[in-house]
Structure 1
């Protein structure tokens, strides 16, 4: 994308000649200026072309409508008695003499100058925003223009004036706010962004032919110093999450890849934000555990031993240059009496064990099981082990997890429940806790003789012994 420069005319009156004026743009920029005419020429076709022979040009055929021809655009405003010329993507080859007129009674000579010696000319950026978000643009200018009027335009297909510094207010109800308080730049803030706000924006400075602020009678032009292409995406919005008293909930928030390295946070209602100060490791704040996965742009949140006091609206967010981007989580914590309390099971090594899980019948869910780590955070079963975990429906609101070929390392605490997926968030409401103990079927025998029975009955190929020929590893395959 390229920056645009819009210029509204410097006129010169020369004896014996028609009106002439000069306009100045910059390489890679764009240019806009006005050609005025008398009231009796309102309904005539206007034109703008290069040189007096008009070999290359464009003409207006309809009034109050933009006419486009590649990089050239015209708009005839008959009520104001001028037509506007807009040229995009200027290069040094565009420099030279032009003519605007009606090909009959009048014409103006236009000198177009294209330079590239301004540090504030030619700047362009691409920005991303999300529906409902607030975003701020910074527009840098030469310090000599500090007292000049600053302007903000929008260009989708056609250029449209949005506001200038004399019009802008700081009202909280204003959608667009232009602030000019710094010595070398001004800012434009867009609040409550909608899908319709996407497009190209231009910010600039109003000036005349000199560097002094224009007077009330001077003919001004506007130099645009920055072009912003704003891409608007669907907002990370509010999500309802159901959890249960004395149980746990696991929430994963997903952010755009461009923000994956940015600092994440959790916020409960209107309380202070809880920042995630470390990346790629679990961080605890009271009963809330957080994990910032910067490689995938995820923030994982685990809350255990839920109570009614945990029911609240949470923000799972990321800090950006302009504003916080967050998912709003409305967590509901309910009392459900028919869910089973925690259970204990003994699994025989090499055999199978079944774990029973509850879920709300009205919800169409994805079945989920996880295992607590040393910090009592329930984490997903590794992909290499998942093939041994099989889900099946056993009754209304109940499913069963069958763990086959039990191994010694399978011992531990498991949680199962219902997983719900949204565009930017996945939640798992954990409902049942199972404490699993793995055991050898020969554990009642004396240590030194149990390995002998195991070798005979299980037909194992090898076994490991201590010096006293006792079993070191009883997990047979």
Structure 2
């Protein structure tokens, strides 16, 4: 197979240079004619086309658009750049650049263009998602391994070069050349300003031509995203809802860049739904259930839910984005189980102690209440007394009931009364003995026929 792009430089008499360049139909080519003499200034440059009307450049350092043709007289770099877009087979032929100094004509610079169909790559539509990464892949046949590869963005006038293998700079902050062999260029933190038409191409080392090989239409869209932070050792289940027009084959992949993310599960491969990952599709609800089992810190990252398009001219379609962070465990499962059992046992023990305390307090309160009732009944005893006709004092023993609490009251008291009121003059005092302590009872000297009552009160402790 002949080279897709063949450049033959031959030095001719009179410094005439002839070159042959192959360009793809519907692509573009940029040809450069150098000044015949670098020490001269040229006021006008005319391009003689193989057919059709010739075109002239009358201004300097600006692009002049002439239909599908554009001219740029670069006075600083001493050349004329001519770009042809939407190449057609009729564009094939020899192009002559004529340089005019006043009215004199210098030796022309000649370039030959050949427009072909074979070997040209199909245009590709790639979808990128805001704030994510995306990678544009330029596949070059082996015959271009020695050629200078580049990627550029179309600005409606010219394709502005972004990165090339000729330059020592492999990144400009946003765009990064990640693979020089297949020429992969990644775009970080994608935004709407990155949307547009990009071209993969090759150029000569001498810089007298650039040719496009593949057109990439980059679309930028929003995507539904959510975050989850499971703990290591747990299972995570989440859902992916897809539109009615979604591709039949659904899949889950992992990676910051969805265009090159690693596939993990697919609805068309049931055998993948075992072990750590699984997914189940509900076509009626247009929903996919994804489960990640026994999560570890290695599972942290970005997951994409998407579908594979049957059209090989389009990239994969994505529906949802999951950002997973994993919280590490501080204890092993056995330790966690032991802690749980300990907590349950302590809780049960505390509950039992609380119930015992409540029961004890209620019992004491009931006992004290009964003792106080008995004290009300028996601390004070009113004993009816009727004196006898005799004159001698007689000892009367009275049993007094007291509450069951022995520390509060004394069980027995001895009370002495006179046997005959007639033999007693003045007030009569009776002594009440209470466990070694004495209390005095005052009886009036005048007695009536009514029964005499004596009140016995337990003396206060000193």
Higher fraction of strand: 1
- Provide TM-score, normalisation by structure 1: 0.48
Whose relative contact order is higher, 1 or 2, with alpha carbons under 8 Å and at least 6 apart? 1
- Provide TM-score, normalisation by structure 2: 0.49
